[in-house]
Amino acid sequence: MKNRDLLIGFITGVAATYLIKEVYDRRQTYHSADDVLKHVKSSFKEEGPIDGSWIYMKTEPYKQHAVTTEVYKGGITRHRQDELEQFEFVADAYTGAILEVTKS
């Protein structure tokens, strides 16, 4: 076997490993549940103080029409005008974007 053939095989292996790693990394969750909760809380704090908050630490599959992604689900509790308000949210685990907020 020639040195040239060994070099070509080595370079091909390195390139394939790099491509596989890139594809795998893109499917990893980019935002932690804590980071997503901090983002949601800061958005709600603009409208007033928060009494409590929670978030599930594991992602769940979420499908809306033809789009499927992994999401975190959580909630926020606050008092507004002497009334308790509770909200539940769904946030994209890859981008951290809030996809849905519903008042309970």
User: Are residues 24 and 35 located together in one domain of the fold?
Assistant: no
Total tally of structural domains belonging to the chain: 2
Per-residue pLDDT tens digits for 11-48:
888 888 888 777 766 666 567 889 899 988 988 888 88
Which phi-psi region, left, alpha or beta, contains residue 28 (left: φ > 0; alpha: ψ -120 to 50)? beta
**Cα(90)–Cα(56) distance, integer angstroms:** 10
Tell me which residue range forms the domain holding 88.
31-103
User: Are residues 41 and 86 located together in one domain of the fold?
Assistant: yes
User: Are residues 36 and 21 located together in one domain of the fold?
Assistant: no
User: Are residues 13 and 1 located together in one domain of the fold?
Assistant: yes
Could you tell me the pTM of the whole model?
0.68
In Å, how far are 29, 36, 79, 90 from 82, measured between CA atoms?
38, 28, 6, 26
Which CATH number do you get for residue 57? 3.10.450
Task: Work out the mean pLDDT of the chain and round it to a whole number.
Answer: 86
First to last CA, the chain: 70
